[in-house]
Amino acid sequence: MAHKRAPGADSDLDDIWHYVATESGSADRADRFVASLTERFYLLSQNPYIGRSREDLRPGLRSFPVLRYVIIYRVEDEDVVILHVFHSSRDVAAFFHQ
């Protein structure tokens, strides 16, 4: 299996990078942090059902925690599609039920 990133995931990662770079004052730290998140995409592509089923949000969704973030994804044919990366304090259910 491979992984794909949806536009929402790319936008989330950009926002995370900007936040970490701004708060820490270090682009290198932001690069390392986002890399630590995206490394998990490869883990998910090799073990697509390791994450928790999130049928409560939408059919077919799964989530996987990484530090204080949650990766929201779905398994689609032969691939894992990374939909979003949210901070764990965010109300994910409210986002999906808008």
Q: pLDDT tens digits, residue range 63-78?
A: 999 999 999 999 998 8
Q: What is the mean pLDDT of the chain?
A: 94
Give the model's pLDDT for residue 98. Answer: 66
Distance of CA 19 to the CA centre of its chain: 16
Residues in the chain with pLDDT < 50? none
Spatial distance between the Cα atoms of 15 and 55, rounded to a whole number of angstroms = 26
In angstroms, the Cα distances linking 41 to 20, 24, 26, 47, 98 are 20, 24, 24, 10, 26
CA angle 87, 93, 94 (to 5 degrees): 95
Structural domain tally of the chain? 1
CB 80 within 8 A of CB 3: yes
Which structural domain, as residue segments, surrounds residue 31?
2-96
Instruction: State residue 93's pLDDT score.
Output: 86
* Domain harbouring 22, CATH code: 3.30.2310.20
Q: Number of helices and strands (H, E) in the chain?
A: 3, 5
